[in-house]
């Protein structure tokens, strides 16, 4: 299999995973709520970051294009 075809398949798989997963990642922030002498109370909050389904669709389309053009033999 040619490298272009392999890259195309990888892009298609990534696109399917992004669409299936829902496209959400998150990061956590830690906030100091109360600090009284040696006593501290902290709060950890997760913030979701959406990755649109358009990104997954674009990966699938780009993967198909790369797979078709990368799989051709140049004679």
pLDDT in tens, 13-32: 999 988 887 756 678 999 99
What is the domain extent for residue 17?
Answer: 3-70
Q: b/e per residue, 29-47, with b = 16+ CB within 10 A? A: eeeeeeeeeeeeeeeeeee
Does the pLDDT at position 3 exceed 90?
no
In a domain, 75, yes or no: no
* pTM, rounded to two decimals: 0.62
Please report the pLDDT score of residue 42 as a whole number: 93
* Domain presence at residue 25: yes
Indicate the number of domains in the chain: 1
Q: Looking at residue 74, what is its pLDDT?
A: 60
Residue listed under structure tokens 């913030």? 47
Query: Does some domain include residue 19?
Result: yes
- Identify whether 30 is part of a domain: yes
The distance in angstroms from the start CA to the end CA of the chain is 17
Domain assignment of residue 62, yes or no = yes
| pLDDT tens sequence across 28-60 | 999 999 999 899 999 999 888 777 788 888 999
Going by the DSSP 8-state scheme, the letter that residue 37 receives in this structure is T
Q: Which residues, including other chains, have CB under 8 Å from residue 9's CB and lie 6 or more apart?
A: 63, 67
Report yes or no on 17 lying in a domain.
yes
């Amino acid at each position: 299999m040619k490298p272009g075809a392999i890259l195309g398949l990888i892009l298609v798989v990534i696109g399917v995973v992004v669409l299936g997963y829902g496209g959400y990642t998150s990061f956590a922030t830690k906030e100091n709520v109360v600090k009284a002498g040696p006593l501290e109370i902290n709060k950890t909050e997760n913030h979701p970051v959406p990755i649109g389904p358009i990104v997954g669709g674009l990966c699938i389309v780009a993967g198909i294009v790369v797979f078709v053009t990368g799989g051709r033999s140049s004679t």
